[in-house]
Amino acid sequence: MKKIPSSSITPEHIYRSRRKFLKWMGIGAAGAALASCAVDEKPAAVTAPSGENETPVSEELEPQEAPTETPLPSASQMTDELGRQLTRYEDITNYNNYYEFSLNKGAVAPLARDFPTRPWTIEVDGLVNTPTIFDMEDIYQMFDEEERIYRLRCVEAWSMVVPWLGFPLWKLLEKVEPTSDAKYVYFETKLDEENMPLVNRDMFVWPYTEGLRLDEAMHDLTILSTGLYGQRLLPQNGAPLRLVVPWKYGFKSIKSIVKIKLVADQPRTFWNNYAPQEYGFYANVNPKVDHPRWSQATETLVGAGIGRVETLLYNGYEEEVASMYEGMDLTVWY
C-alpha cells in the first residue's frame, strides 16, 4: 500500500482526513461506469448522518447494476476533521446541480444515467511546453487516487461532506509544464447535444466553463475527482473527471471536464457570463458577504436533519488558503 506523500502545503488536520490512498484495481477498458474494482483495505462501515437514520448506507442502497460486481459505497471515516458527518451516498448522488441535464436537482440523476463517459479524453494545452491529450483510462493508471473528505458549500446555502477520490490537479499540470506566461487555468465541460437535454436552449452560454488562478490550481487542496465513497463518479456528479476546490462555492467545481487550458488572462466562466453581479470569479466561501439572493451566514447540511450550521470563512480552510488572498477586501463579493 502506498502512503500519503508528505506535503508542505497541507497541515496535519487536513492531511489526516485524507487517510490512505485507495488504489483502484481491475478497471478495464470497457464496461459500466461502476466497473468492478477493489480497494486495498477494508473500509469502516458507512452510516447515515446522526438523527436521521442509523442504518448503514451500504445496506439500504439498491444495487445499481450487476450486483455481484458493484462495490458498496465506502469511506475510511465517518466525519470530516471538524466532526461533521459525511453526507449519505444517496443524497450526494441524487441531489445535484448539473444544468446541462436539468434545473431540478432531483431530476439530474435519472436524466444523466446513460450519459456516455467512456471513452473519454481530456485535452490540456495553451501556455504549456508539453500539450497533451490524456485518455481517461491512462489517468486512472497515472495518478494515485486518494481519499479527500471535503466540505462542499453551494452558493444556494446548502452543503455536503463528501469523501472524494481523486488526485491533486497540480500533478496533472506538472506533466504539461506550464510556461512562465501562464497565469490562469481554464476548464471546459463536454458539450454533448445528443445526451444533454438543456444545452440546446440558449438561456446560458454553453459549454459550462470555469477558471482558477494558477496558484489556486496548484494548491494541494485542489483536486481532480474520479470518484466518491470508494466508487467511480456517477454521471450526475461529473463523471469521469471533475474539479473540486473545497474553499470555493460549489459552482467552481466543474463537472465532466474535456478541456483544460493554461492562459494568461482571467477566463470567462459560465456563471459569470450569466450574472456577473451574482457569480464572481473568485467565489471564495465567505459568511460575511451575502449573495444578492441568498444569505451566506449559515447553511443547511443536506440530509443531516440538524438545522442550519454556521458557514466558515473559506469553508473552514482558512488556515490553508488565506495567504493566497492577502490584501483582498473580505467585505466585497468577488
Answer whether the bond into residue 119 is a cis peptide, omega within 30°.
Answer: yes
Q: How near is the Cβ of 209 to ligand MTE at its closest, in Å?
A: 9
* 3-class SS of residue 13: helix
Q: How near is the Cβ of 75 to ligand MTE at its closest, in Å?
A: 16
Is 222 a binding residue for ligand MTE by CB under 6 A? The answer is no
Is 151 a binding residue for ligand MTE by CB under 6 A? The answer is no
Is 255 a binding residue for ligand MTE by CB under 6 A? The answer is yes
Sheet strands (E) in the chain: 121-126, 132-135, 146-153, 158-168, 184-189, 209-213, 223-228, 231-232, 242-244, 257-263, 298-301, 308-310
Q: How near is the Cβ of 255 to ligand MTE at its closest, in Å?
A: 4
Rounded to the nearest 10 degrees, how much is the dihedral formed by the CA atoms of 87, 49, 82, 323? 20
Q: How near is the Cβ of 167 to ligand MTE at its closest, in Å?
A: 18
Is 299 a binding residue for ligand MTE by CB under 6 A? The answer is no
Query: Which residues, 6 or more positions from 47, have their beta carbon under 8 angstroms from its beta carbon?
Result: 54, 55, 56, 57, 78
Using CB under 6 A, which of 134, 140, 251, 279 touches ligand MTE? 251
Question: Between 99 and 247, whose beta carbon lies closer to ligand MTE?
Answer: 99
Strands 184-189 and 209-213: antiparallel
Using CB under 6 A, which of 17, 87, 231, 237 touches ligand MTE? 237
Is 148 a binding residue for ligand MTE by CB under 6 A? The answer is no
Question: Between 190 and 219, whose beta carbon lies closer to ligand MTE?
Answer: 190
Sheet strands (E) in 60-108: none
Is 100 a binding residue for ligand MTE by CB under 6 A? The answer is yes
Question: Between 69 and 123, whose beta carbon lies closer to ligand MTE?
Answer: 123
Using CB under 6 A, which of 17, 87, 253, 315 touches ligand MTE? 253
Is 84 a binding residue for ligand MTE by CB under 6 A? The answer is no
Select from 290, 234, 255, 270 the least CA-distant residue to 110: 234
Question: Between 176 and 239, whose beta carbon lies closer to ligand MTE?
Answer: 239
What number of CA atoms fall less than 13 Å from residue 113's CA on the CB side?
A: 8
Question: Between 74 and 97, whose beta carbon lies closer to ligand MTE?
Answer: 97
Q: Quick one: cell of 54?
A: 442509523
Q: Provide the CA 292 distance to its chain's centre, in angstroms.
A: 25
Instruction: Name the site residues for ligand MTE (rule: CB under 6 A).
Output: 96-100, 152, 154, 189, 208, 237, 250-251, 253-256
